[in-house]
Amino acid sequence: MALFGSGNREFVDDESGKIAYYPAVFRAAESKRLFEHFSLNLEWAHETMWMYDHTVEVPRLIARFSGEGEMPGEVRAVWKRVEEFLKAPFNSVSFQCYRDANDSVSWHSDHTEDLIENGIVAVVSLGAVREMRVRSKKRPRRTFSCALDPGSIFFMGGRAQDFWEHHIPKLRDAVEPRISIAFRQKR
């Protein structure tokens, strides 16, 4: 991948996978327009998950598409840009909306059984800046964090999901909404 512009960061590039950050893949005005468009036009849904012995509401909104037929042109356009930038094909997309400082996603790795071998997960950020924390599964833990600017791509590839977990924490101070768009190479 020929991906070296200013501000690109490679956090991991070894047998435990590749984790990298590419800012300004989408220009500021374009990111703003896409954020506004997706905020208003996607069908945002609450999801629940089973936790210990009861269901809880997932603290963020999700929008998914089951088939390419129903996918708006803006989604296809972003998809194409991400594929061109990373020189990699994707076959799945999901949208997440972090409405405020109380929305978050807890420590997890993507299910490798859902991804192709060494499958890439690429996350486009729009709207407010939120922090992505990453830690190794193996102890002593290696940790790092990355501020996800609007228009950026956070890249996880190789065996990253086997060796690393990621997390968007809740914040103490108020923050504007953020939308993330996760592209995956699924089986």
Ligand X SMILES: O=C(O)CCC(=O)C(=O)O
Residue window 97-116: x/- pattern of binding to ligand X, with contact defined by CB under 6 A? --------x----x------
Residue with Cβ nearer ligand X (104 or 118): 104
| 166 lies in the binding site for ligand X (CB under 6 A) | yes
Residue with Cβ nearer ligand X (45 or 140): 45
| 152 lies in the binding site for ligand X (CB under 6 A) | no
d(CA 86, CA 177): 26
Smallest gap from Cβ 94 to ligand X, in A, equals 6
Smallest gap from Cβ 153 to ligand X, in A, equals 10
Residue with Cβ nearer ligand X (120 or 123): 123
Question: What are the φ/ψ torsions at residue 161 (nearest 5 degrees)?
Answer: -75, -20
Q: At what angle do helices 28-41 and 73-86 cross, to 10 degrees?
A: 140
Beta-bridge partners for 167: 133
Q: Which two tokens stand for residue 120?
A: 């890439």
Residue with Cβ nearer ligand X (16 or 104): 104
Residue nearest ligand X by beta-carbon distance: 180
| 184 lies in the binding site for ligand X (CB under 6 A) | no
Identify the residue among 123, 146, 153, 160 touching ligand X (CB under 6 A). Answer: 123
| 171 lies in the binding site for ligand X (CB under 6 A) | no
Could you tell me the CA-to-CA distances from 173 to 103, 105, 125, 147, 168 in Å, in that order?
A: 12, 17, 20, 15, 14
d(CA 106, CA 125): 17
d(CA 54, CA 115): 28
| 182 lies in the binding site for ligand X (CB under 6 A) | yes
- The strands making up 92-98's β-sheet, listed across from edge to edge, are 9-14, 17-22, 153-157, 121-127, 178-184, 92-98, 54-64, 45-51
Residue with Cβ nearer ligand X (62 or 88): 62
Contact residues for ligand X, defined by CB under 6 A = 96, 105, 110, 123, 132, 166, 168, 180, 182
